[in-house]
Amino acid sequence: MSDVKKVVLAYSGGLDTSVILKWLQDVYQCEVVTFTADIGQGEELEPAREKAKKFGVNEIYIDDLREEFVRDFVFPMFRANTVYEGEYLLGTSIARPLIAKRLIEIAHETKADAISHGATGKGNDQVRFELGAYALDSNIKIIAPWREWDLLSREKLLAYAEQHAIPVEMKHKQGGSPYSMDANLLHISYEGRHLENPAAEAEEDMWRWTVSPEKAPDEAEYLDIEYRHGDPISLNGKVLKPHELLAELNRLGGKHGIGRLDLVENRYVGMKSRGCYETPGGTILLKAHRAIESITLDREVAHLKDDLMPRYASMIYNGYWWSPERETLQTLIDHTQQTVNGWVRLKLYKGNVIVIGRDSKTDSLFDSTIATFEDDAGAYDHRDAGGFIKLNALRMRIAGNLRNKK
């Protein structure tokens, strides 16, 4: 262990990473550089700086990555309408490649020998952090304390924190072990406590961003979102930076009880895990993006994207953001978005996102003269459909004739 003189720790200031900071100093006898990413978790980050100072850290990085996170990670993912296992909008998964990228950059800047993270040996995040780190620096050394130490429960971590006078915020009014939580501009997740029983309903006071649909306003709220090349650029006529737009959608969606999810998912490491998520802005964006694509994408291109999306979602969920296959697929996805321009009108009401209008002045493939139920003045010849149907039925007719002969 003596070969590690300096390590960059992904540090939130929470229970796990606060313990890890002290543990690295004691076990590896090394200098620790802390890196705290502001990706919109909505918590004050200065306490993390003060905690790090308390334990003798001299190099402390607290970086505002909100705009980069939404612009370069969240929006590219949403161009693909990405959903994992039919429900999960990948809020935690998509943040990890950015954190891995910045960890490697800081390691190079500070001439550190290694990086470290607080992901457990049972979870997906260890895979995401480390695959990303190795893709960006194949020779980096990675220290994963959860795979080395014997502090394998929240209770043991709390006891270690008490022993070493490490302050810990108790995030649950009943005390005991807090929820395992992860927050950023796209979502907030909850795991642990009684959520480990998939039959138990989540406590109402657990949710932080959204009101329950029952308590949402009785009056619907309308939104207009404008798109350019597949990315949202304005909300209700006001041009906003990517992170500002997502933050405002989170506020509006949370107000109307939108974006709650209770999910049992299949982790990459092999186990099933139950988690709860709040993704108000992302839920709105997914609905809006599919709506604008519905009038601007060719049918077969849209269907191809839908075919590829589960594969793309698994790449992100499993930690392969920096892989050549994800980057190749991203090139295809981005190419399809050149004509995804226009606006979508939505109605928010008691947990629902309802599309009520969409249009594109430059790229709409919807031709009302052909689609109309009224007289189309010869724009569409109904007689053409007969031959179309017969040709498509030919193989089935041949098979039917063969069956009749038997």
Residue 393 belongs to what H/E stretch? helix 384-405
16 is catalytic: yes
- pLDDT exceeds cutoff 60 at 372: yes
Cα(124)–Cα(228) distance, rounded to whole angstroms? 33
All structural domains of the chain, each given as residue ranges with its CATH number in brackets, are 6-177 (3.40.50.620), 188-359 (3.90.1260.10)
Beta bridge partners of 141: 114
List the catalytic residue out of 66, 79, 96, 274.
Answer: 96
Cα(330)–Cα(309) distance, rounded to whole angstroms? 11
- The CA distances from residue 305 to 58, 286, 337, 359, in Å, are 48, 14, 11, 21
- pLDDT exceeds cutoff 50 at 365: yes
Contact at 8 Å (CB) between 10 and 60? no
pLDDT in tens, 334-346: 999 999 999 999 9
- pLDDT exceeds cutoff 60 at 171: no
Q: What's the rounded mean pLDDT across residues 214-238?
A: 98
Beta bridge partners of 32: 7
- pLDDT exceeds cutoff 80 at 154: no
List the catalytic residue out of 113, 125, 182, 231.
Answer: 125
Q: Which amino acid is at 366?
A: F
Please tell me the predicted confidence (pLDDT) of residue 172. Answer: 37
Band of residue 406 on the pLDDT scale cut at 50, 70, 90: confident
Q: What's the rounded mean pLDDT across residues 394-400?
A: 96
Residue with more model confidence, 304 or 120: 304
- pLDDT exceeds cutoff 80 at 123: yes
Secondary structure (DSSP) of 214-230: GGS-SS-EEEEEEEETT
Contact at 8 Å (CB) between 158 and 196? no
Residue with more model confidence, 151 or 224: 224
Per cent of the chain over pLDDT 70 is 97
Contact at 8 Å (CB) between 108 and 206? no
Band of residue 170 on the pLDDT scale cut at 50, 70, 90: low
Band of residue 273 on the pLDDT scale cut at 50, 70, 90: very high
**Tokens read off for 56:** 């003798």
Residue 199, burial from CB neighbour count under 10 angstroms (0-12, 13-18, 19+): exposed
H helix intervals, 164-322: 242-255, 280-296, 299-318
Per cent of the chain over pLDDT 90 is 87
List the catalytic residue out of 18, 116, 180, 360.
Answer: 180
290 is catalytic: no
Please count the CA atoms within 13 angstroms of the CA of 176 that sit on its side-chain side. 5
Band of residue 43 on the pLDDT scale cut at 50, 70, 90: confident
Cα(382)–Cα(271) distance, rounded to whole angstroms? 54
Q: What's the rounded mean pLDDT across residues 323-339?
A: 98
Cα(79)–Cα(333) distance, rounded to whole angstroms? 7
- pLDDT exceeds cutoff 70 at 277: yes
Contact at 8 Å (CB) between 81 and 309? yes
314 is catalytic: no
Angle at 171 between CA 167 and CA 174, to 5 degrees: 110
Cα(176)–Cα(161) distance, rounded to whole angstroms? 13
Is 0.75 surpassed by the pTM of this model?
A: yes
Please tell me the predicted confidence (pLDDT) of residue 173. Answer: 37
376 is catalytic: no
List the catalytic residue out of 16, 113, 182, 231.
Answer: 16
**Tokens read off for 155:** 């209770």
Band of residue 174 on the pLDDT scale cut at 50, 70, 90: very low
Residue burial 128-148, b: 16+ Cβ < 10 Å; e: rest:
bbbbbbebbbeebebbbbbee
